[in-house]
Structure 1
């Protein structure tokens, strides 16, 4: 009972962190789309530092730029949403019985 509650809390926190990272990717992509000249702004540099590792891992295995459009954020978003909706929810449902 206690272990189940602890694991449930841990996976809920992981789900919240995944969703927060998804919003970071969305905000970063929208700012780059709307206002590319602000690339040297401290907020953009922070968002770059947060998103660049995930993009790098995807770009290492898959070419993500087609016709000048970078699809790395979309691929990362799909992967994170799959992780959240399928794996985390499956584990939570299994723990709850």
Structure 2
């Protein structure tokens, strides 16, 4: 059971970094730092979008319009942090 919990924690940590990479990429794309016509850049952007959008979409639906500021990645990071801490402090010690 410990291996399963450690695998879930690793998956949460990886998804944490994917969300951060997606946010940074969206800023680079918005400010024309990266070339949007480059196929490699488009592939990375598309992959990050497909990985993060299913988790961000429900949050964006609930959030009010903040005038162009998207804080849904921050809320998702907080949810992931809470879930990770819940697993580490509640579930994992009960198994050990």
TM-score (norm 2): 0.82
Q: Which runs of 4+ in 1 moved over 6 A?
A: none
* Separation of aligned partners in 1, 2:21 and 2:73: 11
Partner in structure 1 of residue 21 of structure 2: 27
Residue in structure 1 matched with residue 87 of structure 2 by the alignment: 88
CA positional deviation for 1:34: 2.3
Q: If the length of structure 1 is used for normalisation, what is the TM-score?
A: 0.81
2:47 aligned partner: 46
| Alignment deviations for residues 33-66 of structure 1 (CA, whole Å, 9 cap, x no partner) | 1233438710100000000011111122222x41
**Larger helix percent:** 1
CA distance in 1: counterparts of 2:50 and 2:83, whole angstroms = 22
Aligned length in residues = 88
SS of the counterpart of 1:51? helix
Q: Which runs of 5+ in 2 are unaligned?
A: none
Partner of 2:7: 13
Structure (1 or 2) with the greater strand fraction: 1
RMSD of Structure 2 on Structure 1 (CA): 1.7
Could you tell me which runs of 5 or more consecutive residues in structure 1 were left unpaired when the two chains were aligned.
1-6
Following superposition of structure 1 onto structure 2, how do residues 67-86 of structure 1 map, counting pairs within 5 Å? Answer: 67-85=67-85
